[in-house]
Structure 1
Amino acid sequence: MPELKIEREHTLGMAGARLVAERWREQAEQEWGMNCALEPGEAVDRMRFERSGVSGELIVTETRFDLQIQLGFLLGAYSGKIAEKINANLDELLGPVA
């Protein structure tokens, strides 16, 4: 299965990162039809998500967003376009990569 790994550093702190992660969750559920489950932690939050052909996890810390996505066979052919869309989405939420 094709896998995407997208990592972003930020300076939002944990409270700000949680707000951004919540906005990302809302978009993932509404626009992409994902089922999301948040597992909050003291220093690390994990948000697991899935839908037909896609599953993954967003790991949020006070300085990083780490997104790992596993694509099913059919969506694997579109991995470049999917990564491009996710990067644009993160740019919008966090600001462009420095």
Structure 2
Amino acid sequence: MADIHIVREHGLGLERARKLAFRWAEVAEKKLDMDCTYEEGKAHDLVSFKRPGASGELKVGKDRFELNARLGMLLGVFKARIESEIVRNLDELLEHEDPLYAFEQGLHKHETRHAAKHEKKPAKHAEHKAPAKAVKAPAARKAK
């Protein structure tokens, strides 16, 4: 098991932080096959998430996000990479004046890039079939 603990201060206030966290939970359910539960509170909200190989909580406050996640054995091998991706993405979002808008733009960019990669392209070594040979129709016979 590998644990991840990330804390990031922000100046969003609870309502804007709540919207961003709720949207993240929606995307995590759809794109990462996570089961997410969102609980609103007076001082902070709590997003609990779970999927095979990972579980955790995101505490959403008026001035900070606190993520605690536990990775199973298989995902634990990638702990450093997973943690650095989360940190990089969160830091990039929090640099923007409107992180929710930046999240939506990043999601759209990712989906567009992903769709372009998976478009059907002709195979490099496609099998070429020889054109069918024209068959000459037999000459009409003259009646005797």
What amino acid maps onto 1:95 in structure 2?
E
Paired residues, what number?
A: 96
TM-score between both structures, scaled by the size of structure 1: 0.90
**1:19-98 matches, cutoff 5 A:** 19-95=19-95
Structure 1 distance, partners of 2:84, 2:27, is 16
Q: 2:15 corresponds to which residue?
A: 15
Shift of 1:23: 2.1
Mark the runs of 5 or more structure 2 residues left unpaired by the alignment: 97-144
Shift of 1:65: 0.1
Select the structure with the greater relative contact order (CA < 8 A; seq sep ≥ 6): 1
What amino acid maps onto 2:11 in structure 1?
T
Question: Normalized per residue, which structure has more strand?
Answer: 1
Q: Is the 8 A contact 2:17 2:62 kept in 1?
A: yes
Question: Quick one: percent identity of the two aligned structures?
Answer: 47
Shift of 1:84: 1.5
Cα distance per residue 1:12-67 (max 9 Å; x no partner): 00011101111211221222211100111001101100000000000011001000
TM-score between both structures, scaled by the size of structure 2: 0.63
Bigger CA radius of gyration: 2
